[in-house]
Amino acid sequence: MISITSISSMHEYINTNKNKGKTVGFVPTMGYLHDGHLSLMQEAREKNDLAFASIYVNPTQFGPNEDFNRYPRDLERDKDLLAKVGIDCLFTPISEEMYPKGYRTYVEVETLSTKLCGHSRPGHFRGVTTIVCKLLNIIKPTSAYFGQKDIQQVTIIKKMVTDLNIGCLIEVMPTVRDKDGLALSSRNIYLNKEERLQAAFIYKALKKAEAMILNEERDCNRIIAEISNIISQCSLARIDYIKICDLENLEHLDLITNHAIITIAVFFGKTRLIDNITVTVIPLQ
């Protein structure tokens, strides 16, 4: 695996390979890799001639009181994991090049980026779309791979790619979970033993919601109340939000009639965990 830090070297490498007519699959990450990230890497590896990854803890997507400084980092371990799954090229840009002195340009997908997590983390998605847009411009991949775990992020990135005519396919891969159902996340390392045990209730609550819907419940308030009940049994959990929204426009739903996302954000101490499931129903007679 080749490791590249400077944008000019990346351009050179990309141009050489693109000139040879190769397809490039790309997975942007913030590192501290787990099996969720690696599932995206494997897909990029299998579906393309070349597989690229990036590791960059992007400062512009963190709020002033968030965990940018303490975000977990272990580049050497990550490099080993990436080499093992057959990644050809790792890009680890530096902030001096990504956001040089006098940097002024940001990409914002209106409306979608202020809902759900955007409400609790103002400016977060502006940072995400800006860095993803820059990375797609630098690497110019054929396809880029994202996880359903961050479903709002995927929805927003798809919209950005369409609106800005970025010629890249956006592929979404299922959420990878621990044995007890907790979605894998680099932030799970912040959880203490008791918080980690209780965090499994997030997925239990989502599965309960899914069961209610299978049982023909369509009323979002009743489903949300049940999820809230289950999470409230966890003494260490503080619910940020529980929402049921339309899969395309993220608008709040009162009744599930078609495709919906059930999405949750919960704090355990200072650690904010997110998860979601999607459901598709056929209209009841």
Catalytic positions:
37
Residue 186 as a binder of ligand AMP (CB under 6 A): the answer is: yes
| Footprint (CB under 6 A) of ligand AMP, residues 60-89 | none
Measured CA to CA in angstroms, residue 165 lies from 65, 136, 255, 273, 281 at distances of: 34, 12, 34, 32, 32
Nearer to ligand AMP, 108 or 171 (CB): 171
State the minimum distance, in angstroms, from the CB of residue 157 to ligand AMP: 9
Among 44, 90, 176, 264, binds ligand AMP (CB under 6 A): 176
The least distance separating ligand AMP from the CB of residue 90, rounded to whole angstroms, comes to 13
- Would you state the structure tokens that stand for residue 285, as one six-digit string? 């007679």
CA distance 243 to 262: 6
Q: Are 14 and 139 within 8 A, CB to CB?
A: yes
Binding mask 23-62 for ligand AMP (x = CB under 6 A): ------xx-----xx-xx----------------------
Site for ligand AMP in 125-164 (CB under 6 A): 146-147, 149-150
Residue type, 220: C
Nearer to ligand AMP, 31 or 256 (CB): 31
Sole window of 7-15, 43-51, 158-166, 183-191 interacting with ligand AMP (rule: CB under 6 A): 183-191
Q: How many CB atoms lie within 10 A of CB 187?
A: 17
Please count the residues of the chain.
285
Compute how many residues bind ligand AMP; rule: CB under 6 A.
Answer: 17
Q: Going by C-beta distance under 8 Å and a sequence separation of 6 or more, which residues neighbour residue 164? A: 107, 133
Closer Cβ to ligand AMP, 1 or 281, answer by number: 1
Residue from 113, 175, 188, 276 that binds ligand AMP (CB under 6 A)?
175
The answer to whether 88 and 44 have CB atoms below 8 angstroms apart is no
Stretch that binds ligand AMP, among 96-104, 176-184, 200-208, 257-265 (CB under 6 A): 176-184
Helix segments in 85-182, DSSP class H: 95-98, 117-120, 124-139, 151-163
Considering the complex, state which of residue 4 and residue 147 has its C-beta at the smaller distance from ligand AMP: 147
Confirm if 89 and 44 have CB atoms less than 8 A apart: no
- Between residues 39 and 198, which has the closer beta carbon with respect to ligand AMP? 39
User: Which of 98, 184, 237, 260 touches ligand AMP (CB under 6 A)?
Assistant: 184
**Three-state secondary structure call for residue 59:** helix
Q: How far is the CB of 167 from ligand AMP (least distance, A)?
A: 20
Contact 120, 266 (CB under 8 A): no
Q: How far apart are the two ends of the chain, measured CA to CA in Å?
A: 56
Instruction: Give residue 283's identity as a one-letter amino acid code.
Output: P
Contact residues: ligand AMP, CB under 6 A: 29-30, 36-37, 39-40, 146-147, 149-150, 173, 175-176, 183-186
